Structure 1
């Protein structure tokens, strides 16, 4: 197939869907169904809907990355029609640019400059223009690192900015953004939103953005479309109409849409009763190897049973590195990390020396990228894998546990699905559930609320509170201030290589 020339790439794209449906291979229900939708060239649209409503799958379809949709080896099956400027997305590649939920899955090259240039090179943009676009795009998204900087050395939030820069450098006629600010600190959110606005003003491109936090984009877009969980469209119109009218707000709240000025129905956080000492860090320095500078130093903390700790700070500050060190997955660069006898039992006091079966039943870590911990071909298999390896439960008990967790986190209908076909929010809930299933004393979560609608967010908070009430400890790396308020624990803020304890937020008003 011939790649389009560079000249028409920036012209805005019109989208047409007519009774369009998509089934992932092996799934009995469609990702979305019976969608009829027109998006005019140059329109800016915010796409909303419950977790699992098919928002990400629709963006993938528009980007032409779902495959042909026919034949025994197809990734899925499509019905109806979907077109960009009158042609199927597979014949319009280069006209749409997609930023994925998981930026790791779209990074190709080892250096930042080459990564940003990659898409534009494939569109045969002249070399001099490519590098002008590379610098402009990196500046637009606020990623201020050398062009030769390693992509693998970036934080999750920095990778998200890099992925956006690579798409912006292509100057597509249709810009597709899937939760582009979900893993960014507040300053990064403002920078990325401003970057998108600048690009849209320069190019006039059509925008379709998925974001659970509506307020981020409500004043940028001129239209809001809400997908219904059972197919079709729940609401469609200007933001002031869709998000403000009482009738619409009631329907959208029931569907789990994050509405400006509203919060999920979660009660005030209970006071946390500190139990036995579990894990102690003294003068701890965390980094990616002793030959490299520490990302964060001088960490002094004690984790106790029944308490939670939030780890906050700007992107790239070392939050994830610190969390992986606390979880026994990275060795300390300096200082000490000691497990108490109550946590260690017969395993020894150094978590870094524990066997995998010893670690997972004591400290369970949920990675920032859920796919990095999926090991089986079904959701049911994922939930059963850890408890089965731990050897604590009978098969009957494991089956009961799997069913309870699936019901609690709205995964029951997906038990036989391949984990990699789930939506971003569903993958996140599954990754949390797989760690909860092993019943660790400390649950360590990296961006646990990514991709959650308001309802699943509230259910996750409720589940974590129940773990705290059982005497477990919960540690969360997050930019979600409302989540920390809902848990009611203490906060460790990481910035400029140092970690600072901040006031507990357990007394925050939560209605």
Structure 2
């Protein structure tokens, strides 16, 4: 039985159901090979851990207890999610500022029930809830990428500029790109060029930045997110984790006033996860707003200043 991150993007209850199903399928005649970044939850399913070396070959091999006892600190420093090695949170350096965006009785039946929400500058807001509660739909509505079925999205005058009487879904694309950046749940849904470099350069170019500034921005993001060796690669040839980092970087490239991300940290090792958290924290601490739809409890603990929980529409829906 070969499984590659089988619980990615699932809510905690759904992930536990998957692990229970896997455990129930194992017997004396079954071999399980499980590829996983988040090791702690998977440990009850395995009796051997193999850590691959990025340069090739095997970095460590043995029982979980033996591997983590002998190499735990070093592996954590190298990017492995070693149980018992927490990451320090990135708390906000100042209190949240002015309102950027509000949702008033916002909904899109049957995908999202009526929801009220406020997003402020200098704040990282986490949106949580079970699969099917409408979190991704909410992200698209807040990002101006879907027209509301009910209610309204209101942008502040500071965020909307000349469009302050117009809802975000009616803004022109260049204006929306400058003001609100979106990271889709599926990275491939937002790739439109043939190279990683051009994908990162597209947003800054569309907003009129000089080419020298564009190249400086792209080079910095490529290095920080460990994509520099892939600058000439086609985005559709990247691994899942690399594609996720590229999709986040494309939104960060324009430093939008408001950044809305859907599951921004899936498929990441400890080191690239930390870099993503740092990038979001730097954007927030510079006075931008960050909204993250996520099942990643570590991400919420490290970054979120406030959490909103959605519930499935069949149980009443909306946010709490």
Map of 1:388-467 to 2, 5 A cutoff?
388-391=205-208, 393-467=209-283
The answer for the alignment partner of 2:180 in structure 1 is 363
Report the secondary structure of 1:500's partner residue: coil
Map of 1:46-65 to 2, 5 A cutoff?
none
More helix by share: 2
The answer for the alignment partner of 1:251 in structure 2 is 74
Distance, in Å, in 2 between the alignment partners of 1:467 and 1:268 is: 12
**C-alpha displacement of 1:271:** 5.0
Report the secondary structure of 1:445's partner residue: strand
Distance, in Å, in 2 between the alignment partners of 1:474 and 1:456 is: 19
**C-alpha displacement of 1:394:** 0.5
Contact kept, 8 Å, 1:428 with 1:450, in 2: the verdict is: yes
Contact kept, 8 Å, 2:93 with 2:285, in 1: the verdict is: no
TM-score (norm 1): 0.60
1:385 is the counterpart of 2:202: yes
Q: Which runs of 5+ in 1 are unaligned?
A: 1-174, 288-292, 502-511
The answer for the alignment partner of 1:186 in structure 2 is 12
Distance, in Å, in 1 between the alignment partners of 2:177 and 2:217 is: 16
Deviations 1:441-481 (A, max 9, x none): 11100001101111111111111110011111000000112
The answer for the alignment partner of 2:97 in structure 1 is 275
Distance, in Å, in 2 between the alignment partners of 1:447 and 1:278 is: 22
Distance, in Å, in 2 between the alignment partners of 1:477 and 1:489 is: 14
1:499 is the counterpart of 2:318: yes
**C-alpha displacement of 1:397:** 0.7
Distance, in Å, in 2 between the alignment partners of 1:398 and 1:438 is: 9
Distance, in Å, in 1 between the alignment partners of 2:76 and 2:288 is: 31
Report the secondary structure of 1:495's partner residue: coil
Distance, in Å, in 2 between the alignment partners of 1:217 and 1:468 is: 33
Describe the shift of the 1:227–1:491 C-alpha distance in structure 2 as closer, same or farther (beyond 3 A): same
Distance, in Å, in 2 between the alignment partners of 1:388 and 1:189 is: 40
**C-alpha displacement of 1:267:** 4.4
Map of 1:313-324 to 2, 5 A cutoff?
313-324=129-140
The answer for the alignment partner of 1:236 in structure 2 is 61
Distance, in Å, in 2 between the alignment partners of 1:326 and 1:189 is: 27
Report the secondary structure of 1:311's partner residue: strand
The answer for the alignment partner of 1:168 in structure 2 is none
Deviations 1:314-341 (A, max 9, x none): 1111111111111111111111211111
Report the secondary structure of 1:429's partner residue: helix
The answer for the alignment partner of 1:376 in structure 2 is 193
Distance, in Å, in 2 between the alignment partners of 1:200 and 1:375 is: 42
Report the secondary structure of 1:345's partner residue: helix
Contact kept, 8 Å, 2:180 with 2:258, in 1: the verdict is: yes
**C-alpha displacement of 1:272:** 4.4
Larger radius of gyration: 1
**C-alpha displacement of 1:263:** 1.5
Contact kept, 8 Å, 1:378 with 1:416, in 2: the verdict is: yes
Q: Which runs of 5+ in 2 are unaligned?
A: none
My pick for the range that moved more, 270-279 or 417-426, is 270-279
Length, aligned pairs only? 316
Deviations 1:4-25 (A, max 9, x none): xxxxxxxxxxxxxxxxxxxxxx
Distance, in Å, in 2 between the alignment partners of 1:263 and 1:429 is: 22
**C-alpha displacement of 1:268:** 4.8
The answer for the alignment partner of 1:210 in structure 2 is 35
Contact kept, 8 Å, 1:308 with 1:490, in 2: the verdict is: yes
Higher RCO (C-alpha under 8 Å, 6+ residues apart)? 2
**C-alpha displacement of 1:420:** 1.9
**C-alpha displacement of 1:296:** 2.8
**C-alpha displacement of 1:383:** 0.7
Contact kept, 8 Å, 2:128 with 2:310, in 1: the verdict is: yes
The answer for the alignment partner of 2:85 in structure 1 is 262
**C-alpha displacement of 1:229:** 0.7
Q: 2:123 aligned to 303, 307, 315, which one?
A: 307
